[in-house]
Structure 1
Amino acid sequence: MPDAIFSHPRLAPVYDAFDGDRDDLTAYLNIADELGVDRVLDVGCGTGCLAVLLAESGRTVVGVDPAEASLEVAKSKDRTESITWVHGDATTVSALGADLAVMTGNVAQVFLTDDDWMRTLQGIHGALRPSGYLVFETRRPERRAWEEWAAADAAQVILDIPGSGLVEQRREVTDVSLPFVSFRYTYRFLSDGVVVTSDSTLRFRSRDEVESSLIAHGYRVLDVREAPDRPGRELVFISERTT
């Protein structure tokens, strides 16, 4: 079940405004160029920011996400209607023959159980062509990002968003039970006073844990890089389907 921040009909349309500029996506376009890929699967595509950029670069793109409200936002950006949008997860897009699958942002960390992570890796494996690539990022556990989040919890952000008016956002870290970190976003729509909350939990896996899981499920790790826009905070895994 996707978090309300992605699936609620009032939250999905304001997500991009609070998420800010997606400078992180340029790195994925550069990796797609580096790998020379044409057909891309965007797993957990959300509101479609990367999928649209990939399509604009001339690539064939499939975006899959379990949050229908986010997909509706994504579709509104796809002015040429060239992207295939799928309501589901990585297990619902088998045999695509994709050259590359990507998971950006926190997508790789929303799979809390080993079984969910295994099914995701297997689903992507089936969607890739032989020797296709899987590229994704994860936050470094040792960086302890949740401590920064907790320090900023008292802050509020108010934005004036077209179609929604003034919206206030607050974040609160609600639990740290490593490897799991939970937090809550609270949104107040000042136009009518409606308050909507969204609870999320992320799993922080170590580099060794991620690499071992990839190898165990038919991938070869080609490279592990720093996220260029967030050095020291995240790792970008570049892997290749081997079987």
Structure 2
Amino acid sequence: MTDLLYSDPDLVQFYDIENEGGVDFDYCVGFAKDAGSVLDLGCGTGQLAAALADRRSVTGVDPAPAMLDVARRRAGGQRVDWVEADARNVRLGRRFDLVILTGHAFQVFLTPEDREAVLATIAVHLAADGCFIFDTRNPVAQEWLEWTPEWSQRELSHPELGMVRAWNDFRRDPATGVVTYSTHYEIPDSGRVLSAESEIAFPTKESLAQMLDESGLVVEEWLGSWQGEPYLDTSPEIIPIGRLR
């Protein structure tokens, strides 16, 4: 894990402030209501995994120690089995009723080979009657166009640092479709700016459908948003829900 946004504690401290709750969190909490066991791949700071762990067995997997340090300390964190590992090759030797990969974590896998490896991980950990769900941004929506200093500038309320100014910027490789975006946090008074550069891919629904099929996974429903709306070509999200073939 070389992305400072997830591996540097100075930057990780802003993750929950920027990503608290949300419609994806609410949807997944409801979606998991009948699952006795959950595998959360790319669990990050563990907000969702910890919320699910009061009624079921939950395992959270993430490659970033700094993120897992936050996860272990959060309320309910002691109920989760935290595993430091890469979603492309982790093998836990058990199967789960539900496998989830949220927060657009699927997009950090930049090549088709990486994405195929993650789908293989999902397949090998799904129970015979289990279900999977994950999300990725629809490239048609071109959300990256909003990640400019002008459009992304915001203020965050940090419990110790006070009001922190934050913004993003991006560049896109037209050949690969990979977007490199930078995230900046300006610490008040000191003027110090903490920055990280991240890369994410924007696979199409058509490529995902083919990869899922080749991985032995069947999609039963495609959502276009975490409000539960059906997928349309213009939807902001691509959210497959499915099972083993």
Q: Give the TM-score of the pair, scaled to structure 2.
A: 0.88
Q: Map of 1:1-243 to 2, 5 A cutoff? A: 1-33=1-33, 36-56=34-54, 58-79=55-76, 81-90=78-87, 91-150=89-148, 153=150, 155-177=152-174, 178-190=176-188, 192-229=190-227, 232-242=235-245
Give the % identical residues: 31
Deviation at 1:64, TM superposition (A): 0.6
* CA displacement at 1:23 relative to structure 2: 2.6
How far apart, in 1, do the equivalents of 2:39 and 2:24 lie? 17
Aligned residues: 238
Q: Distance between the aligned counterparts of 1:50 and 1:80, measured in 2?
A: 10
Q: Distance in 2 between matches of 1:163 and 1:69?
A: 19
User: Structure 1 residues 52, 79: closer, same or farther in 2, change over 3 A?
Assistant: closer
DSSP 3-state at the match of 1:89 = coil
CA distances 1:58-113 after superposition (whole Å, capped 9, x unpaired):
12110011111111111111446110111112222432211111011211111001
Classify the secondary structure of the residue corresponding to 1:37.
coil
Question: What do the CA deviations read for 1:147-184 (whole angstroms, capped 9, x no partner)?
Answer: 2223x645532323123444321100123425211210
- Please state how far the C-alpha of 1:220 moved relative to its aligned partner: 1.0
**Does the aligned pair in 2 maintain the 1:172–1:185 contact within 8 Å?**
yes
Distance 1:89 1:52 in 2: 20
Please say which of residues 171-180 and 1-10 is displaced more in the overlay: 171-180
> How far is the alpha carbon of 1:209 from its aligned partner?
0.8
CA pair 46-226 structure 1, distance change in 2 beyond 3 A: same
64-73 vs 154-163, greater mean Cα deviation = 154-163
Instruction: Tell me the distance in 2 between the aligned counterparts of 1:40 and 1:155.
Output: 34
Length-normalised TM-score, structure 1: 0.89
Point out where structure 2 has 5 or more consecutive residues left out of the alignment: 230-234
Check the 8 A contact 1:133/1:240 in 2, yes or no: yes
Query: Which runs of 4 or more aligned residues in structure 1 lie more than 4 Å from their structure 2 counterparts after TM superposition?
Result: none
| Whole-angstrom CA distance in 2 between matches of 1:131 and 1:191 | 55
Provide the secondary structure at the position in 2 that maps to 1:199.
strand
Contact 2:45/2:67 (8 A) holds in 1: yes
